[in-house]
Amino acid sequence: MDKLPMALDQNCSGASEDFPSLLRRKGLRQTPLDGPIAGGHQPFVPTESTTILAFKFSAGVLVAGDRRATAGNTVVYDRADKVLEIDRHSIMAIAGVPATAWEMARVLEHSFQYFRRTQLQEMRVDGKVRALSKLLRDNFGFVMQGMGMVVPIFATYDFDTNSGGRLYFYDAMGAQFEVTDYAATGSGSPAVRGILHYANNWSDKPLQRLSEDEAVTIALRALDTAAESDTATGGVDRSGKIYPLIKIVSHDGIATLPEQKVASIFNETVA
């Protein structure tokens, strides 16, 4: 490993390269992901999910995700569920490896249920946020091995402080950041953030004043725009009639928008 410091010094300008990739490029590390799979000649490529978004509007927090899951340049599944209900007022949207993310969602769900049944009250928002942060930190060993990365969005409703909808995004190490207006992660997120920023600052009214139908329109436009430039984002499949999954968290709980309504709004205001 005496070559490692030199390798790091020579690569100090390439800040965008992750540490495992640097080690592999220098021939200092190899994982099962780098080699051929049994009986084949192709390396293992994990399934990944993108793109997700969330923003506050007049009735609460809207959380949406496209339905595509990919492995490299292969479309594995076009009806993946990336917007997961954790409890009656909490949603976790996932970008990254779905196998890891779904397991995190199950652990969170059971943790919140256990707390509610043993303490006879809901866990506070700060506790929910930190619980997800801890799961991400515990998973960081797999991230360093080049697999298992999850970058989620967490939306919930805060009854304790009367602040209404709360929205957080995370990095792969578990750092959480509360946002006032919107969040987006995944490979299509740059285009999504551009759409949401424009809509929030220069449209007729900001995101937090939109009605439900107007908010759904913005979400569909953002995901459809992302799909134009990002092959991993499914957007709206017009031929297959596959639409993004959209949920709304509010004072009354979580509502999943029927596919018929999403299709109707898309045909009237987007297509």
Active site residues: 50
Residue 207 · residue 57 · CB < 8 Å: yes
**Contact between residue 53 and residue 225 where contact means Cβ atoms under 8 Å apart:** no
Q: Contact at 8 Å (CB) between 214 and 124? A: no
CA distance 223 to 191: 8
- Which residue, chain included where needed, has tokens 């045909």? 267
Torsion sign (Cα): 221, 216, 235, 150: positive
β-bridge mates for residue 61, sequence order? 56, 249
- Spell out a b/e string for 209-230, using b for 16 or more CB atoms within 10 Å of the CB, else e: ebebebbbbbbbbbbbbbbeeb
Query: Two tokens at 118?
Result: 């043993």
Q: Specify the DSSP class assigned to residue 135.
A: H
Contact 243, 266 (CB under 8 A): yes
